[in-house]
Structure 1
Amino acid sequence: MKRLGNDECWCGSHQKYKKCHQKFDERLRYLKRQGYVIPQHKMIKNEKQIEGIKQAAVINSGLLDYIESHIGAGMTTQEIDDMTVEYLKAHDASSADLHYEGYPKSICTSINDVVCHGIPDAQVVLKEGDIINVDATSCYKGYYADASRMFMIGDVSEEARQLVEVTRECLYKGIESIRPFKSTISDIGRAIETHAHQHGYSVVREFCGHGVGLSMHEDPYVLHFDPHYPTTLLVPGMVITIEPMINAGKRYIHIGPNGWSAYTDDGSLSAQWEHTILITETGVEILSM
């Protein structure tokens, strides 16, 4: 049913439609006629929701800061999980990872050739030369934020250091590609893939970024490669993660015996960085990093 100007806006702001999203919808209808894939209303967050997500993001970034200040050789990945539980409890937050589809821990710890979803373990000890991705998703008062960082343990090889640095550059290339009302998810993927290939690396295709905020995983999927087909237009109010997984070798992966952890098929190193991004009228705002 067509919404009238004096009706309450669909976004949940409790404002009149004509003062809230009427002009926004008119612009989207015009862009749809130009051939763009238009985002669904459920992908757009209102001001209250964005504020809640920002609060969750502060906690999520603080958690990664806390881990960064303690992580080092000789630490077990279970200790990282213990720190996560301790920090989130102290901030009245919780882990969105814990029990998600049966996942047994509160954070993901992926070392060297583990692409993602490494499960913390008291028997897994960090050693000099390791690279590790720590991926955290925090929930605070019903709002979610998601981010991951790479950590280099002690002196790492030049190969490992370059992979970590270029993967971070890939993330920022994806972020820099975003032009509200102009760019699509394909633009993010193309920017990431181009930069990775220029350095001789490959991009994992089995996992992608996603919408986030009201739950851990929402639409749209955010691809880290160019799919060569039309993808969703990026517009203000969308909150997404960009989280490229870049392999030093070939892109192919497999799931290990625990049913969660993904490994590179060829045993090559893998790295990942992730931010939660708000798309604004003028560009982007990085919320959790």
Structure 2
Amino acid sequence: MGKFIKSEKQIDNIRKSGIILSATLKELAKQVKPGVKPVDLDMLARELIEKKGGTPAFLGYKPEGALYPFPFALCVSVNEVIVHGRPSDNPLKEGDIVTLDLGVDWQGGISDSAITIPVGKITKEAQHLIELTSRALDKAIDEVKPGKTVGDIGHAVEKTVRLGGLNIVDGLTGHGVGEKVHEDPVIYNFGEPNTGMELKPGMVIAIEPMVSMGGKGIKQLADDSFVTSDGSLSAQFEHTVLVTSGGNEILTK
């Protein structure tokens, strides 16, 4: 259990990286509109992070199972792309939904966060997908406190999404974070209460519900992005969360 507990210095660095990340993501979200090119959002992300003294944590990072290191600072996943979308030159269109997933390193402390945003006017169904996924993250974070388990987190996500009539995608999870982008423990988006690793003060985890408007199936493309197997829309929300003695602290709020 000791290896999952961060020192005060590590937590302070992760907290500072989270402040940079949150401010950057908010600024990027303001730029999302029809006609904007994802590759330009990536360049803006790099500029904003570096201006604040941070380093893009995803740039050059190779996740487990990936074929290549990621060559961008920002994941931009449009419509059926669930995660690890590569920023392209294709302009965003009215009615798209786009997920911005960003990691920031500040002096060795890494945070990770994601939001899904409508591009102009979207359908009621797409809006429900976005709102439900965001709500699932909120419900999961409510479970983060000492004595709770990773199963409690997953159960909160699963229950919320099921009650909303949609599906959690298969095979993609949250994770520990802090010294690396992806660390143990694995944070599943499903589970049973009171099962799995117990949460302790000093643990830092990235919780990230990923929800599909269609089926659960996914497939990995040649560029390492993951898409829904049936081409249905997907959404993702993510926060880096610290377990504290009295509950939790969202480090990327």
Q: How is 1:1-289 mapped onto 2 (pairs within 5 angstroms)?
A: 40-101=1-62, 102-122=69-89, 124-181=90-147, 183-226=148-191, 230-258=195-223, 260-289=224-253
Superposition TM-score, scaled by structure 1 size: 0.83
Q: Return the index of the structure with the highest Cα Rg.
A: 1
Counterpart residue type for residue 104 of structure 1: P
**Larger CA deviation: 146-155 vs 228-237:** 228-237
In structure 2, what is the equivalent of residue 7 of structure 1? none
Return the alpha-carbon distance in structure 2 between the equivalents of residues 49 and 205 of structure 1: 32
Counterpart residue type for residue 131 of structure 1: I
- Does the Cα contact within 8 Å between 2:150 and 2:197 map onto a contact in 1? yes
Counterpart residue type for residue 127 of structure 1: K
Q: How many residues matched? A: 247
Secondary structure of 2:31's aligned partner: coil
- Offset at 1:236? 0.8
Higher relative contact order (CA 8 A, sep 6+): 2
In structure 1, what is the equivalent of residue 66 of structure 2? none
Per-residue CA deviation, residues 66-107 of structure 1 (Å, 9 max, x unaligned), is 102222110011011110111112112111111112111111
- Does the Cα contact within 8 Å between 1:179 and 1:234 map onto a contact in 2? yes
Unaligned runs of 5+ in 2: 63-68
Return the alpha-carbon distance in structure 2 between the equivalents of residues 69 and 287 of structure 1: 21
Counterpart residue type for residue 211 of structure 1: G
Return the alpha-carbon distance in structure 2 between the equivalents of residues 194 and 206 of structure 1: 17
Secondary structure of 1:135's aligned partner: strand
Per-residue CA deviation, residues 165-210 of structure 1 (Å, 9 max, x unaligned), is 00000001111122312x1101111111111111111112311111
- Offset at 1:63? 0.9
204 and 136 in structure 1: CA distance in 2 versus 1, 3 angstrom threshold:
same
Secondary structure of 2:240's aligned partner: strand
Counterpart residue type for residue 279 of structure 1: V
- Does the Cα contact within 8 Å between 1:276 and 1:286 map onto a contact in 2? yes
- Does the Cα contact within 8 Å between 1:205 and 1:224 map onto a contact in 2? no
In structure 2, what is the equivalent of residue 20 of structure 1? none
- Does the Cα contact within 8 Å between 1:205 and 1:225 map onto a contact in 2? no
- Offset at 1:134? 0.1
Displaced runs of 4 or more, over 4 A: none
Secondary structure of 2:112's aligned partner: strand
- Does the Cα contact within 8 Å between 2:155 and 2:193 map onto a contact in 1? no
- Does the Cα contact within 8 Å between 1:84 and 1:107 map onto a contact in 2? yes
Counterpart residue type for residue 82 of structure 1: M
Superposition TM-score, scaled by structure 2 size: 0.94
In structure 1, what is the equivalent of residue 65 of structure 2? none
Give identity over the alignment, percent. 37
